[in-house]
């Protein structure tokens, strides 16, 4: 995965997040970008993304609550779930907007 691929994924992912949650704040934190549904209200942290060597991980704080009939979400923790993105087409193929819309309504 090239740096260009990572930049393209994170740029488009940021656009989707702000389209779905226009009042959101995106904060550089914990080595990635954390999303507050309502800017300035830390209790509204709902998701974030992190760039790794071979993928970008879109992570959901309460992913266990999301409807996922196609088993796209990964992880077996108590609450968190994530999606590994390896190219920009994964944003659509792995239904990122759909999951972000669900998060916006939690």
- Domain residue ranges of the chain, discontinuous segments joined by +: 3-104
pLDDT tens digits, 2-44? 999 999 999 999 999 999 999 999 999 988 999 999 888 888 8
pLDDT tens digits, 44-95? 899 999 999 999 999 999 999 999 999 999 999 899 999 999 999 999 999 9
pTM for this entry? 0.92
Long-range contacts of 13-18, Cβ-Cβ distance < 8 Å, separation of 24 or more: 13/49, 13/56, 13/58, 13/85, 13/91, 13/96, 16/91, 16/96, 16/97, 16/100, 17/47, 17/100
**Given this model, what pLDDT does residue 42 score?**
86
Q: How far is CA 90 from the centre of its chain?
A: 12
DSSP 8-state secondary structure symbol assigned to residue 33: E
d(CA 18, CA 79): 23
d(CA 41, CA 34): 12
- Check whether domain 3-104 has CATH 3.90.1150, yes or no: yes
């Amino acid at each position: 995965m090239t740096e260009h691929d990572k930049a393209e994924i994170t740029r488009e992912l940021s656009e989707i997040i702000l389209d779905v949650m226009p009042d959101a704040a995106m904060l550089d934190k914990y080595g990635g970008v954390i999303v507050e549904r309502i800017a300035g209200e830390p209790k509204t942290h709902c998701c974030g993304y992190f760039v790794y060597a071979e993928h970008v991980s879109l992570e959901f704080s309460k992913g266990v609550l999301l409807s996922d009939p196609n088993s796209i979400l990964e992880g077996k923790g108590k609450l968190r779930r994530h999606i590994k993105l390896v190219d920009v087409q994964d944003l659509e193929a792995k239904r990122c907007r759909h999951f972000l819309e669900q998060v916006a309504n939690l």
